[in-house]
A and B are shown apart, each in its own frame.
Chain A
Amino acid sequence: MRIVGPRLLRRTEPAVAAVTPINAAMFADSRFAPVRVEVQGVRPGAFATVEYGLASPAGRVAHVRADLGRGEHVVVLPLPPGGLPAGEWIVSAEVAGSRESVWAPLMLVPSPWEAGR
């Protein structure tokens, strides 16, 4: 006899299972970052408040809350109007009040349309 697992079949508490930027690399002057968020553990028809944001080692620069139902969603993270420094960033998401956060890297590349380039 061979036992395989264990494997999570169903969450009983709301949680963000995955967060993925639609574009893992973006221009540093982008106005928004669309992000795919997968929510689990929410009953059909109910919603969980999800917080998601963009951060670097220097701190969080964008932070949004949204009430999301179970399943996959594309949510939009507004970015600061003046653009951000190029480099590696982190997109994170968690159910409000939860300690269980998920994250994914996001690379910002200097824009081709910066004046003076």
Chain B
Amino acid sequence: MRRCAAALAAAVAACAEAASVRWLADFGPPASTARPPFEALTPAVAAGDGRAGWIAPSGLSAFRHAHREMVANPFRGRQEPPPIWTTPETEDAVWSVSTNSLIVPVPPGEYDVWLLAGSSDGRHAAWVFDFDFAAGGATDRVQVAGAYHFELRRLRAGAEDGALRLDFLPRNRWIANAVMIWPAGDATAEVGVLAPLREAVFGLPPHERDHWVRDPDPPTAPPRPPRPEEEARGFVLWNRHWQECVYPRDRPREDELDPVLCLFAAPGEYEPATFVVRPLRPLTGARVEVGDVGPVRGADTDIRKVRYMAARPNWADRGRWRIVPDVLERFRGGALPAEENARFWLTFRIPDDAPPGLYEGRIRFVCDRGAAEVPVRLRVLPFRLREDPSRRYAIYYHHPFDLAAAAPDAHSADYWRRKAELEHADMAAHGIRNVVLSVRSGAAGPDGRFAIDWVGLEAKMDLWGRHGFVGPVVMGVDCDAIYRKHMNESYGVHLRNVRRPPPAFAEELAALVRQIEAGRRARGWPEFLYYPVDEPSTDPAAVEFMSVVLAAVRSAEARTYVTADPTLPGFAPLRPWVDVWCSQPFALDEVAVRAEWAERAVEHWCYPNHIAGENDHTPVGGARMTFGFGFWRSGYRALIPWIYQGVRGNPWNYLDHPSMDFLVRSEPDGTPIPVALWEAYREGWDDVRYIATLEWTIREARRWDAPRIRDAAAAAERELAAVRDAIRAQPKYIRDDLWGGEEFDVRRWQIARRILALRSAMDEVARAAH
């Protein structure tokens, strides 16, 4: 008994000692300094004599790359924020390609071990750090892809023999900026150390934060007292149409309570649905269970939770931010904070062979205090949707193959190639059938030949073909490289520095296009649309230069693609040279667009920045309208938004860098994570597929010589015209004067009903004929 008491006393003493331990290390080269309470730890510090340090210092490298000042952007002629704002912790790091361990003497006990890992060096854009981080029997895989991407991970580790051993086990290489160790659950450390660090890495550092003001939350419904069952289970269950935003503090209206999810869909179609849990108290053990809904297996349903992000209201704002619903992250369960709406985003995929019918199912939300059910009603339609080949869905794309080509090792290159594969599959599943590509060549060498990167382009075109993409391909070419060769400087963004080049410039550009065209034809690839300059300005010097450039492309018997607004008088001199105008809004009306196509074979495409991140990721209804009914109504031939993934600085920080990040995020392994806008693109694409299916069915019906079918076809045409007339046409569909979420679904259903009626009429006539 006495021995037990002594052991207990020793344990208590050890725990008390452990409770006082807090070890914070900031890694970097010798010249690098640490900010208290962090201590600097260089690669040269070896473990031993009760001192924290590395087991094998000789295998380590370190760097420091700080971003603390505004930087000059010569291409835009202004001062801008750096790509990220670094802190003493993030501006330096230690890394290695070999296994290493950090030994930290600590009293016995259980500890939280935090690792901050990432690179502040822009030259690491193609580097992938893939390693296991292990301590006290716990292991976590860390994948850091590219520069400015930081991961913050926690292990709960037990120390038994007077030290914690932290192992860095690389698949290719590992990196560490800082390690923080404190007794498990030390709330003071989490508030005093972790929270400010998190704010600085994923938000703004204090010196920059002073320049920013948070926008007020949007207005919401008045408060209402919880019902007894809500009080008992600890949460309110509600819903709003998926395309309408739910902010963290939104309160439900009466019509948004007691949700029932009602969907209709065709086989092969994806269909989103959401519900919202507003915790009245902190909830633990939260999870979402989706049962089968007829032919749709619950296990196949994608379950995500909307993550709120601090975002700029406009892409280039510096000084205003707000909290917005943004990223749709996988949800595998966990805790939910009180009074913050948790919106769950489900995507049902109707199997290709799903039998038509009306099905019911349910979703259960469960937490430690209680549970609630959301009924689901699904109508599966008896037809598949058709695509409209006359309308192209394309997107700008930063191709990961370019990073693979610059990767420092095979493992990094494999990561980027796999990422491209996953992203192409994701794009194809969202209706995208075309991405903007570019080919590197540089200027011509002394022999007049270009070093065209056919290997890189072949890999991109192979991926293109495997995912069913279709041409023509918008192809960026090295126009600026040729200009620099002749003029000894770049022409700058929007041609802001351009001067008249010598005739040899145009001859060289034409030669490049001829060489690319010869290679394209030899490989049997689809047509290329040549895209030599992005967004030229209306400055007369820029327009004159563009005329020269486009004429050179035309002289090589290729078509031109220009990102400019054709309604601006300043671009009038370009009209003879442009084959495809790509403008931000639906700038021209439908009549003009169709006339230009009919009379001069000039196409009009649209890159709708206003629903691609320019105004953060919240104009979800505008995105659906732009991609669907609005596109159909516009007469434009293609949508080609900027950009599938635009990562500026830290991909999990929308306030760093001079501008906002765009669209899809990535899981650490490169798997795409959608934002709501991205899902709205697919729903818009589906809207157009419903229209295309009805138009096709009407054409089929017109081939029948039966009054009943003729009448049904005429009724379908009238209904389609009525839906078209109900669209409030706008150059930019953003938020105002749009259909509500339910109205979109009603309009789609009006079209589906007519497809059903026509099919039914044709079936009956066919049966009667037999």
Interface residues of A, Cβ cutoff 8 Å to B: 21-27, 30-32, 34, 74, 76, 78, 107, 109-110, 112-113, 115, 117
Give the contacting residue for A112; candidates B221, B255, B743, B749; CB below 8 A.
Answer: B749
Q: How far is the CB of A78 from chain B (nearest CB, A)?
A: 8
CA distance A15 to B235 in the complex (A): 38
Q: Which residues of B sit under 8 angstroms from A25, Cβ to Cβ? A: 726, 739, 743, 746-747, 750
Please report the C-alpha to C-alpha distance between residue A112 and residue B741 in the assembled complex, in whole angstroms: 16
Q: Is B264 an interface residue (CB 8 A)?
A: yes
Q: Are B743 and A34 in contact, CB atoms less than 8 angstroms apart? A: no
In Å, the complex CA distance between A80 and B726 comes to 26
**Interface flag for B494 (CB, 8 Å):** no
Interface centre among B743, B746, B752 (most CB of A within 10 A): B746
What separation, in Å, do the CA atoms of A74 and B222 have in the docked complex? 11
Q: Known contacts A22-B740, A113-B262, A113-B358; decide if A32 and B746 are in contact (CB<8 Å).
A: no
Given contacts A24-B726, A26-B746, A34-B253, contact A110 B753 (CB under 8 A): yes
* Nearest neighbor of B260 in chain A, beta-carbon distance: A31
Complex: chain B residue closest to A29, CB-CB: B262
| CB-based contact B253/A74 at 8 Å | yes
Whether B353 sits at the interface, judged by CB under 8 Å, is: no
Contact across chains for B743 and A26 when beta carbons are under 8 A apart: yes
Q: Is the CB of A76 within 8 A of B254?
A: yes
Query: How many A-B contacts if CB must be within 8 Å?
Result: 61
A115 to B221 CA separation, bound complex (whole angstroms): 34
Cα A27 to Cα B743 in complex, Å, equals: 9
B753 touches A23 (CB 8 A): no
Given contacts A31-B255, A34-B740, A76-B253, 19 further A-B contacts (CB under 8 A): A21-B740, A23-B740, A24-B726, A25-B726, A26-B742, A27-B749, A32-B255, A34-B255, A76-B254, A78-B254, A78-B255, A107-B746, A109-B750, A110-B753, A112-B379, A113-B262, A113-B264, A113-B377, A117-B358
Q: Which residues of A contact B740 (CB under 8 A)?
A: 21-24, 34
Check if B377 sits within 8 Å of A23, measured CB to CB: no
In the complex, A74→B251 CA distance in Å? 13
Measured in the bound complex, the distance between the Cα atoms of B244 and A34 in whole Å is 14
Inter-chain CA distance A27–B379, complex, in Å, is 14
| A-B CB contact pairs (8 Å), 8 listed | A23-B739, A23-B743, A25-B747, A26-B746, A34-B740, A110-B753, A113-B264, A117-B358
Chain A residues contacting B747 (CB-CB under 8 Å) are 25
B-chain residues with CB within 8 Å of residue A21 when the two chains form the complex: 740
B253 contacts A30, C-beta separation under 8 Å: no
Q: Taking beta carbons and an 8 Å cutoff, which residues of B are in contact with A?
A: 221, 253-255, 262, 264, 358, 377, 379, 726, 739-743, 745-747, 749-750, 752-753
| Structural contact, A27 and B746, CB atoms closer than 8 A | yes
Do A32 and B739 touch across chains, with their CB atoms under 8 A apart? no
Residues of B contacting A32 with CB < 8 Å? 254-255
Give the shortest distance, in Å, between A84 (CB) and chain B (any CB): 14
Residues on the B chain within 8 Å of A117, using CB = 358, 379
- Complex Cα spacing A50 to B232, Å: 35
List of A residues within 8 angstroms of B753 by Cβ = 109-110
Q: How far is the CB of A19 from chain B (nearest CB, A)?
A: 14
Q: Do B739 and A115 touch (CB < 8 A)? A: no
Q: Are A112 and B742 in contact (CB under 8 A)?
A: no
A84–B377 Cα distance when bound, in Å, is: 19
User: Contact check: which of A27, A76, A110, A113 meets B255 at CB < 8 Å?
Assistant: A76
Give the distance in Å from the alpha carbon of A108 to the alpha carbon of B739 in the complex. 15
The distance from the CB of A114 to the nearest CB of chain B, in whole angstroms, is: 9
Question: What residues on A are CB-neighbors of B750 within 8 Å?
Answer: 25, 109
Q: Is the CB of A23 within 8 A of B379?
A: no
Asked if residues A23 and B742 are in contact (CB atoms below 8 Å), the reply is yes
Contact yes or no, B739 A24, CB < 8 A: yes
Known contacts being A32-B254, A76-B254, A115-B358, is A109 close to B377, with CB within 8 Å?
Answer: no
**A22, A30, A32, A78: residue with the most chain B Cβ atoms closer than 10 Å:** A22
Contacts of A113 on B, CB cut-off 8 Å? 262, 264, 358, 377, 379
Task: Report the Cα distance A21→B255, complex, angstroms.
Answer: 14
User: In the assembled complex, which residues on chain A have CB atoms less than 8 Å from the CB atom of B745?
Assistant: 27
Q: Are B254 and A112 in contact (CB under 8 A)?
A: no
A-chain residues with CB within 8 Å of residue B358 when the two chains form the complex: 113, 115, 117
Which residues of chain B are near A24, meaning CB under 8 Å? Answer: 726, 739-740, 743
Which residues of chain A are near B752, meaning CB under 8 Å?
Answer: 112
Bound CA span A24–B221, Å: 21
Contacts of B726 in A (CB 8 A): 24-25
* A106–B740 CA distance with the chains assembled, in angstroms: 12
Interface centre among A30, A76, A113 (most CB of B within 10 A): A113
In the complex the two chains form, what is the Cα distance from A21 to B743 in whole Å?
10
**A31 and chain B: residue at smallest CB distance:** B255
CB distance from B611 to the nearest CB of A (A): 20
Q: Which one of B358, B379, B740, B741 has the highest number of Cβ atoms from chain A below 10 Å of its Cβ?
A: B740
Instruction: Give A112 to B377 CA distance when docked, in angstroms.
Output: 10
Residues of A near B379 (CB, < 8 A) are 112-113, 117
CB nearest to B742 among chain A residues? A23
Q: What chain A residues lie within 8 Å of B743 (beta carbons)?
A: 22-26
Complex Cα spacing A30 to B743, Å: 12
Write the nearest CB–CB distance from B358 to chain A, whole angstroms: 7
B249 to chain A, nearest CB (A): 17
Q: What's the least CB distance linking A74 to chain B, in Å?
A: 7
Instruction: Give, as a whole number of angstroms, the nearest-CB distance from B49 to chain A.
Output: 70
When C-beta atoms are compared, the residue in chain B nearest to A117 turns out to be: B358
CB distance from B559 to the nearest CB of A (A): 41
Across the interface, which residues of A come within 8 angstroms of B742, CB to CB? 22-23, 26-27, 30
CB distance from B223 to the nearest CB of A (A): 15
In the assembled complex, the Cα of A25 lies from the Cα of B726 at a distance in Å of 10
Note all chain A residues with C-beta closer than 8 A to B253.
34, 74, 76
Q: Across the interface, which residues of B come within 8 angstroms of A110, CB to CB?
A: 753
Q: Which residue of A lies closest to B728 (CB)?
A: A24
Minimum Cβ distance to chain B for residue A36 (Å): 10
Contact status of A109 and B739, CB under 8 A, knowing A24-B726, A32-B254? no
Residue of A nearest to B737 (CB): A20
**Nearest A-chain residue to B745, judged by Cβ:** A27
- Return the chain A residue nearest B244 by Cβ: A22
For B264, give the chain A residue with the smallest CB separation.
Answer: A112
In the complex, which residue of chain B has the Cβ closest to the Cβ of A107?
Answer: B746
Q: Residue on A with the closest CB to B743?
A: A23
Report chain B residues within 8 Å CB of A30: 742
Q: Which residue on chain B has the smallest CB distance to residue A109?
A: B746
Give CA–CA (A26, B169) in the complex, Å: 58
